[in-house]
Amino acid sequence: MTALLLKDLPQYTDILRLRNGASLTVRFVQPRDAEALQNYFRGLTARSRYNRLLGAASELPLSVLGKFVRVGEGEGFSAVATMTLDGVETIVGEIRYALDMTSGHMEFGISIADRWQGFGIGTALLSNLECRAAAFGATEIYGDTLRANDAMIKLARKSGYAFTPTPGDWKLVRFAKRIAIAKEEIPCASWRIAAQQAALHAA
């Protein structure tokens, strides 16, 4: 697994370009983001929150919010997609993932703010996740979603995921994708460098 320098999280920030030319920043969540992240979840429609949290909730439970803002705790990582709107950094999407070191599989969940869906943010985040997965040494990434979550299913299908039933829960469907990117060929510069640094550290 790539050794992250948790005291220097900004070095793992990526600047992505959306298809409309807008700039999207993807960075790790930090404790200072707790209020903004909670406001982001509160701002989602009830349906989007239900789809993301797989149940009814008006906000993130405080225990869950705490896990979101503590990077690396329990091998879990959270990142936010932000844009500068009217001079203010604004969260427009988020993704949380965790790597099982035994299987090499990385599980993730993702959401995009309702008003920003359809701008390519979900596709950009999934592409960025593949870079992270390759740097971490994952061999597969997967997620589970409600069978009625048409937007997530469409996004996963467009991004090349294969679908299978979720073990033990008929209400969900699993989408998975193999990761076969050599670390020296990772397209995201920050994650290619992170993988190279980890390799040097391990040598």
What is the chain's pLDDT, residue by residue, as a tens digit (203 residues)?
445 555 566 778 999 988 888 899 999 998 999 999 999 999 999 999 999 999 999 999 999 999 999 877 767 899 999 999 999 999 999 999 999 989 999 999 999 999 999 999 999 999 999 999 998 889 999 999 999 999 999 999 999 999 999 999 999 999 999 999 988 899 988 888 888 877 666 55
Residue 202 lies in a domain: no
Sign of CA pseudo-dihedral 182, 183, 184, 186: positive
Q: Are 93 and 109 in contact (CB under 8 A)?
A: no
Longest dimension (CA), the chain: 49
CATH number of the CATH domain containing 63: 3.40.630.30
pLDDT score, position 190: 85
pLDDT score, position 4: 55
**Domain count along the chain:** 1
What is the C-alpha separation between 5 and 128, in angstroms, rounded? 19
Residue 203 lies in a domain: no
Model pTM above 0.85: yes
- 189 φ/ψ angles, rounded to the nearest 5 degrees: -55, -45
Residue 108 lies in a domain: yes
pLDDT score, position 202: 58
pLDDT score, position 7: 58
Residue 201 lies in a domain: no
Q: How far is CA 153 from the centre of its chain?
A: 16
Residue 155 lies in a domain: yes
Domain enclosing residue 184, as ranges: 6-196
